[in-house]
Amino acid sequence: MDRIRPFIAVLDDEPQFCKALGRLLKTHGFEVEMFTHGEELLAGCAARLPDCLLLDLHMPHINGFEVLERLAALRLKVPVVVITGHDQPGNADRVRALGAVDYLLKPVNDETVMDVIKFALDQESLGNKAHGDDRIDAITPAGAGLKTNLTAASILAALGLPA
């Protein structure tokens, strides 16, 4: 989180929710990018890793669970907050097992969203200070030479997406 304005990515297929959430985040000084499909988000992470991801679970094509699995497989360390309108037994435990920081149910109030994002960003900052900035530590063995060898094309290829 070296940037003055933390970068928040939002993946949700509900346009009205995205619009309201984007407005809230921008009002609080965040840089925001909205995604409506998992493929878009994963390709966006190849270009720029967000400081925090707000993720819906139930979407067409790649759902939120699969996004979490792909991020974990690539060892892209992004604090993820799941926000869903379709709670089902076991979902909260499953997303936490996949690395999510929190699990919120829609409708969610502004204060809760902001508190959880702050917590997620604080956790990321603490982790980076303790372990160096290793938010991307895969693709090459033990992260060797990663800072210079990681390219958008290599991440897209690993995700099975066209470059």
pLDDT mean across residues, the chain: 82
User: Domain holding 120: CATH number?
Assistant: 3.40.50.2300
Average pLDDT over residues 71-87: 93
The predicted-structure confidence for 8-42, as pLDDT tens digits, reads as follows 999 999 999 999 999 999 999 999 999 999 999 99
How much of the chain exceeds pLDDT 70, in percent?
75
CA proximity to 76, closest of 33, 116, 32, 43: 43
Average pLDDT over residues 144-152: 40
Q: Within a domain: residue 29?
A: yes
Q: Within a domain: residue 98?
A: yes
Q: Within a domain: residue 1?
A: no
pLDDT at 48 over 50: yes
Domain count, the chain: 1
Residue 117, token pair as written in the block? 């994002």
Q: Within a domain: residue 44?
A: yes
Q: What is the pLDDT of residue 124?
A: 74
Q: Within a domain: residue 75?
A: yes
Residue 52, SS3? Answer: strand
Q: Within a domain: residue 67?
A: yes
CB 117 within 8 A of CB 90: no
The predicted-structure confidence for 109-137, as pLDDT tens digits, reads as follows 999 999 999 999 998 776 554 444 444 44
Domain range for residue 29? 7-159
Ramachandran region of residue 142, left (φ > 0), alpha (ψ -120 to 50) or beta?
Answer: left
Q: Within a domain: residue 2?
A: no
Q: Within a domain: residue 100?
A: yes
Spatial distance between the Cα atoms of 59 and 20, rounded to a whole number of angstroms: 18
